A and B are shown apart, each in its own frame.
Chain A
């Protein structure tokens, strides 16, 4: 049972344009959501997070939107840069020791 889903395995975007990565979840007990970025042969690094009491959080070029009624979150990257090319994972946690449940990941490729 995949509680966190990223339905797009890959996304290709031109440099300078917006990248939108999507994530859906099924467990209504999740109250904290995160995005991680991963380069090959490295561990994931934290990018941005959002609590369920908010619907938007911004950090520089990165914005995460949360739609609780639809159980959907998205990550917007504006403007996209070639260095943003990586695998992006969304993750969710509830109150159970904060363990994270991850989606399958989306490979983002930003073309110069």
Chain B
């Protein structure tokens, strides 16, 4: 099975702080994703990457940026955290092609105060 590891499970940050969420996958998958989950809204795609140094905006990219310098690592950056970015953040990885399953990490709970 694919293992997707998110470095921080629980974080509390202050408004205006720069926040880094790190994600590593162990299966050499091309595609990696960052989602956030909020009650009643499901999982919404923030950014995804289909190759090293490549990135595409998802449905809600505002206030976020990403970095993919190595194939196994995909980082989500909140340049200036705000309270409306309090959420559960989920990283995922997937092999190429539309029919393959996407595998999620355990999630990172971010609270911005």
Contacts and interface: CB of A to CB of B under 8 A. Distances in A.
A98 B109 contact: no
Interface bracket on A: 20 to 34
Contact of B107 (A9, A31, A43): A43
Contact of A101 (B31, B40, B45, B56): B45
Q: Which of B31, B48, B101 has the most CB of A within 10 A?
A: B101
Contacts of A94: 98
B33 interface: yes
A98 B104 contact: no
A89 B104 contact: no
A104 B40 contact: yes
Interface in A61-95: 89, 91, 93-95
Interface of chain A, main secondary structure: loop
Interface stretch (B14-22, B77-85, B89-97): B89-97
Contact of B109 (A41, A96, A102): A41
Q: Which of A36, A41, A44, A99 has the most CB of B within 10 A?
A: A99
A32 B94 CA distance: 14
A97 B101 contact: no
A42 B43 contact: no
Interface string A31-43: 1101010000111
Nearest to B107: A43
B102 interface: yes
B33 to A, nearest CB: 7
B93 to A, nearest CB: 11
Interface of B: 4, 31, 33, 35, 40-45, 48, 50, 56, 58, 90, 94, 96-107, 109
Given A41-B109, A43-B90, 4 more contacts: A32-B98, A32-B99, A49-B101, A98-B96
Interface of A: 4, 6, 9, 31-32, 34, 36, 41-46, 49, 51, 89, 91, 93-105
16 contacts: A34-B101, A36-B104, A42-B107, A44-B43, A44-B90, A46-B102, A89-B42, A91-B43, A95-B98, A97-B96, A98-B94, A98-B98, A99-B33, A100-B45, A100-B102, A104-B41
